[in-house]
Structure 1
């Protein structure tokens, strides 16, 4: 199984060779089965955790040309990120993947900073099931954490799965 995945613009790749299991195929499976569900870009299984990685790079040339008006605070985007998490839970459940789930949105965009990413994280966290799971159970969790990171922050925190430009080694 290939564990080197290239993102949609073919500029960056993620090396998941150290993962127990990893995939970038959720979108293709959902589309092939004609289900109207949204999906996370990459899923990485570790010994005790599953990382769900949504990737958006609006700072690279091709993306800037097509999305010059990209606004990560737009309501559509803020609502889309939680939907992708919830819809991907079906995929994980059908595969019996029940480890702790950590959701990360790697986001690069013009004028982005750690402060703006934290503000986005706080907005989006309100739509994820943190409060719900606390209200219903002190044992079962459907999400452990959520974060919005830059590529550099991802590489620092999850260096065993580096995100690098395709031509870099």
Structure 2
């Protein structure tokens, strides 16, 4: 099975992979979707690699590739533990295009506040892999709507 497959619901996996722990967190979600046989697009795995010395043409290609796949997505699953600005931009674009957004935040524990704009734009706020598994198997569930502390 390929990750990008229009015959299955497509998830766009947004999230950073630039700092310690970030690639591993994305890899766990990629592995989960592979296990569940969910078609997804991961810029980390499927996108164009952008290097610090990239040309404007390279940057344009990355932007076009990511936005094309984002626009085609039926769901955006976004890792927001580190509030990466690119990830936040992708979720805003998805919400504006009426693509459901689920946030994945392992660092969101009881009593920790969550951003009001993210909380109100979410169809789900997931705090661990088990919740992600349940949600991805039924992305219509409202079981993971956010009701915690907001800032």
Q: Same fold (TM over 0.5)?
A: no
Query: Which of the two has greater strand per residue?
Result: 1
Q: State the structure with more CA Rg.
A: 1
Query: Which of the two has greater helix per residue?
Result: 2
Q: What is the TM-score normalised by the length of structure 2? A: 0.43
Q: What is the TM-score normalised by the length of structure 1? A: 0.40
